[in-house]
Amino acid sequence: MLATRDSDGGNAGGCWDDYWWFDASGPHQLDFSAVDSAVTQHIPAGAHFSARCDQLRLEQSEIESPVQAGDARCHACDWIGKISVKFRLEGWHAEPVAVEYSTSP
């Protein structure tokens, strides 16, 4: 497996990352679509979360991300909760094991 990580160049420390596996036909990304789908079912409609970069800890098979209101006034405000996900890799697919959403105090 190969991990790639690139800064987005902004002042908030954002980034893009991807995880790759290889076979004779070339590179393929790890598939987190089942995890993303499970999270979307647990957070309020329209809300935003991140399952990448600092929020994703591949070695621990977990994601912890703040959740932001869909109509947030800025990129760093209107946080409404937190999502915690435990997952397992089934081949090259990340499958959710446990998903928990909690609102901000």
Rounded to two decimals, the pTM is 0.82
Closest CA to 32 of 53, 52, 47, 3: 52
Asked if residues 73 and 58 have their Cβ atoms less than 8 Å apart, the reply is no
| Span 28-60, pLDDT tens digits | 889 999 999 999 999 999 999 987 777 888 889
Domain ranges of the chain: 30-103
Joined tokens for residue 65: 């991300």
CB atoms within 10 A of CB 62: 15
More confidently predicted of 54 and 102: 102
